[in-house]
Amino acid sequence: MDDVLIVGAGPVGLMLACELALAGVRPIVLDKRPEPSELPRANGLGGQIVDLLDHRGLLERFSAGSPFAGRPPGFPFGSVPLRFAGLADLPLRLLMIQQPRMERLLAERAEELGAEIRRGCEVLSLAQDEEGVTLELGDRRRMRARYVVGCDGGRSGVRREAGIGFPGTTDDEVLRLGHFATGADTGIFEALETDGLAPGWNRTPNGRLLLTSLQHGVLIAGVREKGAPGDGPVTPEDFRAAVRRVLGRDLPLGEPLWLSSTVAQARLAERYRAGRVFLAGDAAHLFPAGGSALNVGMTDAANLGWKLAAALRGRASEGLLDTYESERRPVAERALMQTRAQAVLDRLEGEDGAALRELLTEVFAFEEPLRHVAGLLHDSGVRYGPAHPLAGRYGPEAHPLVGRFVPDLALAGGRRVAELMREGRPVLLDLGGGATLDDDWIDVVRTRADDPPADALLIRPDGYVAWAGTDGLAEAAREWFNLTASPA
């Protein structure tokens, strides 16, 4: 019997494979596509996933050739501009990277670490018992593993087979997207501007039109309109017709490189776990506005990876696997809330919509609301803990860093906390308090930091602080890492 079978080699399944392999498990990833997808879906990553890539030492690899990597000067929140310039300690980082390249890099890393990716393997059904889960594949073969994770996207068959509902709503607008080769014509935006159109979203009485570019020589155009046909292939003529309906005329967009259509959905799985089957990424949640799906999905994977690995090597404390849902579902709920709000802000037409967007533009000029929304985009503003099966003492009286992603403290010798997290192991960071643990899984690092936030921090493999302070380290190590030996 295998340890873990991951269904779906999209970004979330591949990220999970990397995290499991880093923790010493050799997962098998099954994907029905014979080849990796070349569909240009996401244009980048934003939020906590960028910090996590930094922890794993992957930022350089992922940002090579990127048109933008760093703290963004702004962000379009449902077409209300957020302006971050001047906001000190902005948590949010963006990394522009096309999804096919990101998937290639993740697959490369997963294989380097020892994961296996089998393409052309469609999963048809699953059945589980007390010991494991059996998958039936398209060629009638069966595979069996102790755990199965459905990272098989919004139409997840794993979710259906596990009997987990996916309630929510489907938008009544369709978005047609296209990438167009503009060749050497660098003046296309000037030409469009003289035509009365601006880069970004343009509103007309019949819908909205997006014009932007993220790489030299390629224009991205999008047409959003009500009542048009739903998902499906789009021909160049369909796209031209949509532009005409919304704008009332044709546009000289260039040679189409790729066209697609999508209908936004807002959905959240009723449960993230059914026995030995888990869901992550789009299989667990769909958000109706851009920018959050990969951040939430790939950080789901980081949360689940070390916990499954701990369960497989007998180091999971009672209830550890249940913390996957109790920690990650609230993150998706908050992401759903803010993306629903973005979708409405974007969609609301006429003077009412304009008034709401104007009001919020004014509100977001103040530091506190701006910081709040930046936090929502970064990690949903969720602190792990209170509703937690392991919550115990992690209530409001706990150190403020407990349940939060560890800050990237500057340590003695020019090191950073992120550099301690490369191996994906728990770290006891002793900043002068003399804390210690004797365990071959947990790295103990003794160092100094300017202005340390606590005497010591116990950091989980996914970068979250499990414990901070002076008292209670032994209990925290027992609860999170099933460490039975007393601290040395």
Ligand X SMILES: Cc1cc2nc3c(=O)[nH]c(=O)nc-3n(C[C@H](O)[C@H](O)[C@H](O)COP(=O)(O)OP(=O)(O)OC[C@H]3O[C@@H](n4cnc5c(N)ncnc54)[C@H](O)[C@@H]3O)c2cc1C
104 binds ligand X (CB under 6 A): no
CB of 447 to ligand X, least distance (A): 35
In the complex, minimum distance from the CB of residue 179 to ligand X, in angstroms, rounded to a whole number: 10
Count helices and strands (H / E) in the chain.
12, 25
Which single residue is written with the structure tokens 């020589």? 217
Q: CA 398, CA 358: separation in Å to the nearest integer?
A: 40
Token pair in block for residue 308: 């499954």
In the region spanning residues 242 to 271, those forming contacts with ligand X, defined by CB under 6 A, are: 262
Stretch that binds ligand X, among 27-35, 166-174, 234-242, 458-466 (CB under 6 A): 27-35
Q: Does 157 bind ligand X (CB under 6 A)?
A: yes
Site membership for ligand X, residue 305 (CB under 6 A): no
Choose, by CB under 6 A, the member of 53, 151, 427, 458 that binds ligand X.
Answer: 151
Q: How many CA atoms lie within 13 A of 219 on its CB side?
A: 26
Nearest 5°: CA angle at 17, between 156 and 38?
65
To the nearest 10°, the Cα dihedral for 226, 232, 236, 242?
0
Q: Which residues contact 86 (CB under 8 A, 6 or more apart)?
A: none
**Choices 35-43, 86-94, 193-201, 367-375; region in contact with ligand X by CB under 6 A:** 35-43
Asked if residue 122 binds ligand X (CB under 6 A), the reply is yes
Q: Does 290 bind ligand X (CB under 6 A)?
A: yes
Among 54, 173, 238, 282, binds ligand X (CB under 6 A): 282
Picking from 15, 205, 195, 7, the residue whose alpha carbon sits closest to that of residue 105 is 15
**Minimum Å distance from CB 37 to ligand X?**
6
CB of 402 to ligand X, least distance (A): 28
Q: Which of 133, 177, 246, 449 binds ligand X (CB under 6 A)?
A: 177
- The tokens for 225 are 């309109």
51 vs 479 by CB, closer to ligand X: 51
Q: Is 301 in the site for ligand X (CB under 6 A)?
A: no
Piece of the chain touching ligand X by CB under 6 A; list 25-33, 166-174, 361-369, 451-459: 25-33
User: How many Cβ atoms are within 10 Å of 302's Cβ, its own excluded?
Assistant: 26
Q: Do the beta carbons of residue 452 and residue 432 sit within 8 Å? A: yes
Q: Which residue is nearest to ligand X (CB)?
A: 10
Q: Which is nearer to ligand X, 291 or 463 (CB)?
A: 291
Neighbouring residues of 345: CB distance < 8 A, sequence distance ≥ 6: 77, 78, 79, 80, 353, 356, 357, 360
Q: Does 41 bind ligand X (CB under 6 A)?
A: yes
Interface positions, 82-101, toward ligand X (CB under 6 A): 99
Single out the residue of 390, 429, 388 nearest to residue 406, CA to CA: 429
364-380: b (≥16 Cβ within 10 Å) or e: beeeeebbebbbbbbbb
Q: Does 222 bind ligand X (CB under 6 A)?
A: no
Q: Is 13 in the site for ligand X (CB under 6 A)?
A: yes
**What token pair was written down for 32?**
């029905």
281 touches ligand X (CB under 6 A): yes
Specify the stretch interacting with ligand X by CB under 6 A; choose among 241-249, 287-295, 359-367, 375-383.
Answer: 287-295
d(CA 283, CA 152) in angstroms, rounded, equals 6
What type of residue sits at position 110?
A: A
* Positions that interact with ligand X (CB under 6 A): 7-13, 30-33, 37, 41-44, 99, 122-123, 151-153, 157, 177, 262, 281-282, 290-291, 293-295, 297
